[in-house]
């Protein structure tokens, strides 16, 4: 089981009752306070200001307290002594404290007690949180004071976790949208999968899929969580500048739903009942849009004329349903379950009922970045594939849910995320469902996925038919061979075939003849 480096370090320190630097200066009690620090001091302070907890005089005092002369770079240089492991450990401590200034001011500012006492009296902020900050500051000073005493033990620890020498870079930033589809990419940070493969990777929350696309084209981050159709669309220049992107591995299968506003609970039983609806999907080039169109067409509806389908950022979807801006949505979770949680909607259908095992999201990187960082790309893809295997185990789902709910990740109530990951959920109609495979995490990028996606882009005129070289698209963009190789390296058993017949609710897709499949769909159900 992969664990966070901080957690494992803490455990080893407690068990040995020794300072991290190797000496015996670090009290075990300090570690008791380091479990639930705020991850973002900006968010934390902003919330308290909105609540009226911080008055102007308190904020002014806080500003004076944080003007400490000891800056992070100088401290890390002093503490690290050239040892990357110790520097990273100190960065973790600073992060847990909400920032270096916060930790040092809380511990040593002459007015610190006055400042935090005011907060304690007027709000929910607990003295336990204050003491945690003191503990972290004390830890930093303790490490700095005993750095010179532990050269031997530091060297020994470093060699055990040192990044492979052939990685072109180890500090990575990976963009994601806060949905359960991103589970392997996101959980790899708090649960230590990136670190396991020598990477210091952080995930960066992004507002919507258009921002992900534009950021990828601009080369702002290293790699991305993308919708499975996006690498195809971006590479071919569908809706944007053509820019080569590779789909490295699948993040999740299933894991979406059609959710309908509660006001329609007595009128919607099938696809024909959606006529006239305003329906949200996360992005035009998404499995959500393609599966929704597939479903509506079987009810005799033309998705382009009989309903209004438009992009809605997943985090905005429940609010838009609550205010009546959309009648229904086909969204990634946890927002379907969140709609139920907020009594805004009910789950009409899980997408696994339309196509059990369908892909949704993927890990992707640009061809240029892969070319510049081939070994790093391999390492990060391997970490995510390893994490996907771990996430696919039902026994691990509650642990993962606990990691994902944090504010810097999904920022959702634990019952909502647990309901999605475990498959034990309320559907909004008074029923308790038990669907263990509501979402799965199979990283294998079947080339038949690429061909079905391409066929539907053609069907709905999102891609010109003359661009639909199905075999070439699947071969060039889906890195199936590499994914299989990495799966074997982490002990998984990938399929031996690269494509298969895909069984959907209303038909079967033959990857050998996508053109005939599209023609048959149009003949039976219309455009």
Domain boundaries, the chain: 5-161, 171-252+359-503+514-525, 256-353
Classify residue 245 as exposed, middle or buried by CB count within 10 Å of its CB (0-12, 13-18, 19+): buried
> Is the pLDDT confidence value at 479 over 90?
yes
Q: What are phi and psi of 454, to 5 degrees?
A: -60, -40
Compute the distance between CA of residue 280 and CA of residue 289 in angstroms, rounded to an integer: 9
Which pLDDT band, with edges at 50, 70 and 90, does 526 fall under? confident
Contacts of 396 (CB under 8 A, 6+ apart): 390
Greatest extent of the chain over all pairs of C-alpha atoms, in Å: 79
**For residue range 487-521, what is the model confidence (pLDDT) as tens digits?**
999 999 999 999 999 999 999 999 999 999 999 99
The alpha carbons of the chain give a radius of gyration, in whole angstroms, of 25
What is residue 394's three-state secondary structure? helix
CA dihedral for 112, 117, 123, 124, sign (positive or negative): positive
Question: Nearest CA to 254 among 48, 456, 487, 436?
Answer: 436
Question: Nearest CA to 9 among 128, 137, 139, 97?
Answer: 139
* Element containing residue 332 per DSSP (H, E): strand 328-332
Compute the distance between CA of residue 48 and CA of residue 129 in angstroms, rounded to an integer: 14
> Is the pLDDT confidence value at 219 over 60?
yes
Which pLDDT band, with edges at 50, 70 and 90, does 168 fall under? very high
Classify residue 480 as exposed, middle or buried by CB count within 10 Å of its CB (0-12, 13-18, 19+): buried
Q: Which CATH class is domain 171-252+359-503+514-525?
A: alpha beta
Average pLDDT over residues 372-394: 98
> Is the pLDDT confidence value at 313 over 80?
yes
Cβ(425)–Cβ(257) below 8 Å: no
> Is the pLDDT confidence value at 456 over 90?
yes
Q: What is the pLDDT of residue 149?
A: 42
Question: Nearest CA to 354 among 291, 303, 297, 296?
Answer: 291
Q: What percent of the chain clears pLDDT 90, i.e. is strictly above it?
A: 68
* DSSP track, 148-196: GG-HHHHHHHHHHHPPPTT-S--EEEEEE-SSGGGHHHHHTTTTTHHHH
Compute the distance between CA of residue 459 and CA of residue 464 in angstroms, rounded to an integer: 9
Question: Nearest CA to 417 among 186, 180, 259, 178?
Answer: 180
- Regarding beta strands 171-176 and 223-227, do their DSSP bridges make them parallel or antiparallel, or are they unpaired? parallel
Question: Nearest CA to 300 among 273, 327, 281, 326?
Answer: 273
What CATH number labels 256-353? 3.40.190.10
Q: Of the given ranges (125-139, 171-185, 476-490), which has the lowest mean pLDDT?
A: 125-139
Compute the distance between CA of residue 182 and CA of residue 18 in angstroms, rounded to an integer: 37
Q: What is the pLDDT of residue 122?
A: 42
Q: Dig out the tokens for 257 from the structure.
A: 């739903």
**For residue range 291-302, what is the model confidence (pLDDT) as tens digits?**
999 999 999 999
> Is the pLDDT confidence value at 440 over 60?
yes
* Element containing residue 432 per DSSP (H, E): strand 432-434
What is residue 232's three-state secondary structure? helix
Which pLDDT band, with edges at 50, 70 and 90, does 153 fall under? very low
Q: Dig out the tokens for 284 from the structure.
A: 């035009």
**For residue range 345-371, what is the model confidence (pLDDT) as tens digits?**
999 999 999 999 999 999 999 999 999
Q: What is the dihedral of CA 243, 202, 248, 456, to 10 degrees?
A: -60
Q: Which residue bears the tokens 């902020």?
A: 125
CA dihedral for 171, 282, 260, 449, sign (positive or negative): negative
b/e 80-100 (16+ beta carbons within 10 angstroms → b)? beebebbbbbbbbbbbbbbbb
**For residue range 401-436, what is the model confidence (pLDDT) as tens digits?**
999 999 999 999 999 999 999 999 999 999 999 999
Q: What is the pLDDT of residue 159?
A: 32
Compute the distance between CA of residue 144 and CA of residue 151 in angstroms, rounded to an integer: 13
Displacement of CA 273 from its chain's centroid (Å): 34
Q: Dig out the tokens for 522 from the structure.
A: 């149009």
Write down how long the chain is: 527
> Is the pLDDT confidence value at 81 over 70?
no
Compute the distance between CA of residue 514 and CA of residue 235 in angstroms, rounded to an integer: 20
Among 93-97, 149-153, 438-442, top mean pLDDT goes to: 438-442
Classify residue 358 as exposed, middle or buried by CB count within 10 Å of its CB (0-12, 13-18, 19+): buried
Asked if 171-252+359-503+514-525 and 256-353 have one fold, the answer is yes
């Amino acid at each position: 089981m992969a664990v966070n480096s901080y957690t494992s370090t803490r455990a080893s320190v407690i068990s040995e009752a020794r300072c991290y630097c190797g000496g015996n200066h670090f009290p075990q009690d300090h570690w008791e306070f380091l479990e639930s620090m705020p991850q973002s001091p900006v968010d934390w302070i902003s919330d308290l200001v909105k609540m009226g907890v911080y008055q102007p005089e308190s904020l002014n005092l806080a500003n004076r307290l944080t003007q400490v002369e000891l800056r992070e770079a100088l401290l890390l240089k002093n503490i690290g002594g050239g040892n990357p492991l110790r520097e990273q450990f100190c960065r973790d401590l600073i992060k847990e404290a909400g920032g270096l200034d916060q930790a040092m001011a809380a511990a040593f500012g002459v007015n610190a007690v006055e400042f935090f006492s005011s907060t304690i009296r007027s709000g929910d902020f607990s003295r336990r949180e204050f003491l945690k900050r003191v503990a972290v500051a004390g830890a930093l000073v303790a490490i700095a004071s005993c750095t010179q005493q532990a050269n031997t033990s530091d060297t020994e620890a470093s060699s055990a976790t040192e990044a492979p020498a052939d990685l072109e870079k180890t500090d990575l930033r990976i963009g994601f949208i806060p949905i359960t589809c991103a589970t392997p990419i996101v959980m790899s940070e708090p649960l230590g999968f990136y670190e396991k493969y020598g990477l210091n990777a952080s995930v960066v929350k992004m507002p919507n899929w258009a921002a992900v696309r534009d950021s990828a084209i601009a080369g702002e981050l290293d790699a991305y969580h993308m919708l499975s159709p996006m690498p195809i669309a971006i590479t071919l220049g569908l809706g944007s500048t053509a820019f080569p992107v590779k789909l490295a591995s699948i993040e999740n299968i299933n894991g979406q739903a059609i959710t309908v506003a509660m006001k329609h609970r007595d009128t919607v039983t099938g696809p024909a009942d959606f006529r006239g609806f305003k329906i949200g999907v996360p992005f035009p080039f998404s499995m959500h849009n393609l599966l929704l169109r597939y479903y509506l067409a079987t009810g005799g509806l033309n998705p382009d004329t009989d309903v209004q389908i438009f992009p809605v950022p997943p985090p905005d979807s429940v609010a838009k349903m609550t205010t009546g801006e959309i009648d229904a949505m086909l969204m990634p979770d946890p927002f379907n379950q969140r709609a139920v949680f907020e009594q805004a909607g009910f789950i009409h259908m899980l997408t696994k009922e339309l196509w059990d095992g369908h892909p949704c999201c993927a890990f992707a990187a640009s061809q240029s970045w892969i070319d510049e960082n081939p070994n790093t790309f391999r390492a990060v893809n391997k970490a995510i594939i390893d994490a996907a295997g771990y996430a696919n185990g039902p026994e691990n789902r509650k642990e993962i849910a606990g990691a994902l709910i944090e504010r810097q990740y999904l920022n959702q109530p634990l019952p909502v995320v647990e309901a999605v990951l475990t498959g034990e959920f309320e559907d909004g109609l008074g029923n308790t469902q038990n669907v263990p495979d509501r979402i799965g995490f199979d990283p294998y990028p079947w080339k038949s996925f690429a061909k079905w996606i391409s066929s539907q882009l053609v069907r709905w005129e999102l891609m010109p038919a003359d661009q639909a070289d199905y075999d070439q698209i699947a071969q060039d963009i889906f890195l199936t061979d590499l994914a299989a190789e990495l799966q074997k390296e982490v002990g998984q058993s990938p399929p031996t075939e690269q494509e298969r017949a895909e069984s959907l609710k209303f038909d079967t897709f033959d990857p050998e003849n996508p053109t005939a499949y599209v023609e048959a769909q149009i003949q039976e159900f219309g455009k």
